Amino acid sequence: MTSLLHPPVFALTRTDGNALHFASAAGPTIDVFVLEDDIVRVRVLPDGNAHGPRTWAIAPGLDDVPVEGRDRLDLSGFALPAFEVVAGSDSVQIETAQIRLTVTLHGGYCAWELRDDSEWRRVLQDRATQAYNFGWWDERVYHYLRREPGEMYVGLGERAGSLDRAGGQYRMANIDAMGYSARTTDPLYKHIPFYLTWQRETSLGFGLFYDTLADCSFDMGRELDNYHGHYRHFIAEHGDLDYYFIASPATPLAAVRRFTWLTGRPALMPKWGLGYSGSTMSYTDAPDAQQQMGEFLERCREYDVLCDSFHLSSGYTSIGAKRYVFHWNRDKFPDTDGFVQRYLAEGVRLCANIKPCLLRDHPEFEQAARDGLLIRARDGAPAWVQFWDEVGAYLDFTNPDTLAWWQAHVTDALLRHGIAATWNDNNEFEIWTDDALAHGFGKPYPAREAKVLQTMLMMRASRDAQRAYAPGQRPFLVSRSGGVGMHRYVQTWSGDNYTSWETLRYNLKMGLGLAMSGVSNTGHDIGGFSGPAPDAELFVRWIQFGIFMPRFSIHSWNDDGTVNEPWMHREATTHVSDLIKLRYRLMPYLYHLLWESTQRYEPVLRPMFAEFPHDPRCYEDGDDMMLGSALLVAPVVESGQTHRQVWLPAGTHWVSYWSGETFAGGQTVSFPAPWDQPVMLIREGTAIPLNVATQHFAQPAERRAFVVAPCVGSGVVEGICVEDDGISEAWRAGERGSVKLRVACDTTTLSISVEWAGHGRPPFASIDLFIPEADTRRVIAANGTIATAAREAGWTRLTLDLAAHAG
């Protein structure tokens, strides 16, 4: 038996392919799995036995995992590269092309190095004192790591506060945190135990992912204990210490891409999921809900507000003041099919709210209990929980019968009426007692040990219902709660935020934290969900920021009963309409970024330091962000501002979207910030695809263009715009194409070539290019002719015949 006085002494006892097994006479074992040149996994078992369940997180490059989970010893999908092992008297060194891990045999401590050019640099090591819990303290899992000066920690999913987690403490336990403070509230809705460590002085970094379903916590240097030096730590309530080390040399984005790949391919949502989605609880809570929903469409037409979907809040399920999932209130919605069809006729799809808890007086509660579909107490009774204004019991999605029941109800209650999507809500599964048991696919265990798994299986069941009902169409789902791998299924948002300028500022950082944790298809409740109604200025500034997020929904439950709607402030309605049209103008770029997320695991949103790690100013805790690699967005997050100070990262030039002016990087510039013109700057050497067709409500139109930021000297600009039908699964069979732009720049000439690549023919006869008007270099078409040229607000607009340029 081990003790603090006598830590275990390990020996390398077995090498089985890319798995190395270390054992000690006292019982503890350590397994090392060399999975990729840049990914190595370590599992520490204090008694030599695995206690954690299967994994639902690990899906390297895959769309999904088996519904009952993946065996933790399954190494399929990994490259399993060659590696070297050097065994010494007191340590074993394991080396790949990028990583060198040294395991100290006395205590099993790990030290990690990354290759930096021709030499190895130490980037991480376990704390030298009691790094693990070998049964010394309690049943929990502990991992203590040495903390180095100047390190920054980014990730942990959806967290309040600054983007850099250094000095903070964070608890991961999914909670319904309505009205939270985006600066201080913890925990929140999501469970993503991954973070990036970045060392700005060396431009080296790495990701750590702890593969656990347990409630857990991270201390990133807030705790200090004189006996152990500077450290940070991870604690999980149960399971095993099972973590992945992911190398991230040169760029912080490398570990983010690889973690996203490791945990599965992000779902490619239908293009309409990027449009404006209306939503408010007030409409469906009203006794004349169907009429109020109809009036929303009328106002969209009246104010020319483009809209693609509406999130149907849970009031449609009410009986009295309570909500009963899959029940339609026929008093509020006397003609369900007619209601849905009216929306579809206007090009607006409905995304219906569904909840995983049956109240004790739900019409189907007793039958569900008899059929064993609910999470149960040890005595067989339902495991009661508080849910909204009543007591109920959660459905148990670790029971295959529950999965089938859920899919049948999604189909019968929603899809067959024409509902296009599911909004998986209030799915935090707040279970706190050991008395509640989950079915566990035939191996029951305490339900609180896999709360986040219930959330994941709920959204999976909703996805599977949509796939079965319309197998040729891409599913669209939204979920408030979730965990690692949720990006395989859903779009998400930051939950029930509070209306304030502070929330606007910190929601921006929250979205960046999610993107740096592998979850890119995100957004926020625009205008704030809970609290006072936003005044006109705050509302417009929030929309200015929100139009750049992959999810764009105005949603509310204001304290005074008012509704956040595009026309809520008449003096601002024209600005709001124009901003939403700007969103639709940018749709091809947003869609391209989601495509890049699905195909190449690229984060859609990026902190400034992640894109410009060599610029010290980009490490400041600012309020700017990159949308992809090409567009710098600088929201206004303080009241009373007419200008926005922006630090332009060094090493490149920047072009104002609004004026076409070019600015050198490495300086702060003050830009005008009127209500209808969010500050946007295009990075030198990039081209952003746009939709420049004139659009009106229920009258979609497409015309493609690129806005180009030419190289100031010599260089090449490349732009691409993915084109497919935007809704079907045909892209998987290669039914897609792309418009590819290339602009070769030298001191006198911009030489433009455009080609169509891929399936079919170009969907557009011509495209437009916008070149800064101040750029006086001669413009020539390398493979055709320029049809027309015109001046527009600081830009030269060129029109090219795409058919003539098709490859």
DSSP for 567-600, please give it.
TSSGGGHHHHHHHHHHHHHTHHHHHHHHHHHHHH
| C-alpha closest to that of 630 among 649, 646, 647, 644 | 649
Instruction: Report how far residue 753's alpha carbon sits from residue 769's, in angstroms, rounded to the nearest whole number.
Output: 11
The position carrying tokens 């969209």 is 300
Instruction: Report how far residue 228's alpha carbon sits from residue 5's, in angstroms, rounded to the nearest whole number.
Output: 16
Buried b (16+ CB within 10 A) or exposed e, 168-186: bebebbbbbbebbbbeebb
Q: What is residue 804's predicted lDDT score, i.e. its pLDDT?
A: 53
Contact 497, 529 (CB under 8 A): yes
Q: List the CATH code of the domain at 703-805.
A: 2.60.40.1180
The structure tokens listed for 126 are 């376990």
Buried b (16+ CB within 10 A) or exposed e, 541-564: bbbbbbbbbbbbbbbbbbeeeebb
Examine domains 271-355+398-430+452-588 and 703-805 and report if their fold is the same.
no
Q: What is residue 639's predicted lDDT score, i.e. its pLDDT?
A: 98
Residue 626 CA: distances (Å) to CA of 605, 611, 718: 6, 8, 18
660-689 tens-digit pLDDT: 999 999 999 999 999 999 999 999 999 999
Contact 461, 487 (CB under 8 A): no
Instruction: Report how far residue 160's alpha carbon sits from residue 626's, in angstroms, rounded to the nearest whole number.
Output: 20
Supply the angle between the helices 573-585 and 587-600 in degrees, to the nearest 10: 50
Contact 717, 710 (CB under 8 A): yes
The structure tokens listed for 50 are 């695995």
Question: pTM score > 0.85 for this model?
Answer: yes
The C-alpha angle with vertex 177 and arms to 172 and 182, in degrees rounded to 5, equals 85
| C-alpha closest to that of 423 among 414, 432, 431 | 414
Residue 493 CA: distances (Å) to CA of 123, 190, 276, 606: 33, 10, 14, 17
Going edge to edge, which strands form the sheet with 737-745? 778-781, 749-758, 737-745, 715-723, 686-691, 704-709, 766-772, 795-801, 786-792
Instruction: Report how far residue 267's alpha carbon sits from residue 371's, in angstroms, rounded to the nearest whole number.
Output: 33
3-state secondary structure string, 706-718?
EEEECCCCCEEEE
Specify the pairing of strand 241-247 against strand 39-45. antiparallel
Domain boundaries, the chain: 10-156+192-262, 271-355+398-430+452-588, 703-805
Q: What is residue 568's predicted lDDT score, i.e. its pLDDT?
A: 97
Q: What is residue 153's predicted lDDT score, i.e. its pLDDT?
A: 98
763-772 tens-digit pLDDT: 898 999 999 9
Phi/psi for 531 (5° steps) reads 110, -155
The structure tokens listed for 281 are 């609880």
Helix (H, G, I), strand (E, B) or coil at 658: coil
Helix (H, G, I), strand (E, B) or coil at 565: coil
DSSP for 104-157, please give it.
ETBT--EEEEEEETTEEEEEEEB-SS--B-SSSS-SSEEEEEE--TTEEEEESS
Q: In Å, how far from its chain's centre is CA 502?
A: 21
| C-alpha closest to that of 210 among 245, 186, 237 | 245
Contacts of 182 (CB under 8 A, 6+ apart): 160, 494, 497, 498, 502, 503, 505, 506, 507, 509, 510
| C-alpha closest to that of 755 among 707, 795, 800 | 800
CB count in 10 Å sphere of residue 360:
14
Instruction: Report how far residue 490's alpha carbon sits from residue 459's, in angstroms, rounded to the nearest whole number.
Output: 7
Question: What is the CATH architecture of 10-156+192-262?
Answer: Sandwich (2.60)
Q: How far apart are the first and last CA of the chain?
A: 71
User: Hey, which residues does 374 pair with through a beta bridge?
Assistant: 395
Helix (H, G, I), strand (E, B) or coil at 357: strand
Q: What is residue 790's predicted lDDT score, i.e. its pLDDT?
A: 87
Q: What is residue 803's predicted lDDT score, i.e. its pLDDT?
A: 62
3-state secondary structure string, 282-307?
HHHHCCCHHHHHHHHHHHHHHHCCCC
Q: What is residue 118's predicted lDDT score, i.e. its pLDDT?
A: 86
Q: List the CATH code of the domain at 271-355+398-430+452-588.
A: 3.20.20.80
Contact 146, 132 (CB under 8 A): no
Give the pLDDT means over successive 10-residue stretches in the chain (807 positions): 81 97 97 98 97 95 98 98 97 98 97 94 97 94 96 98 98 96 98 97 96 98 96 97 97 98 98 97 96 98 98 97 97 97 98 98 98 98 94 98 98 98 98 96 95 98 98 98 98 98 98 98 97 97 98 94 95 98 98 98 98 97 97 98 98 98 98 97 98 95 97 97 97 95 96 92 91 95 82 93 61
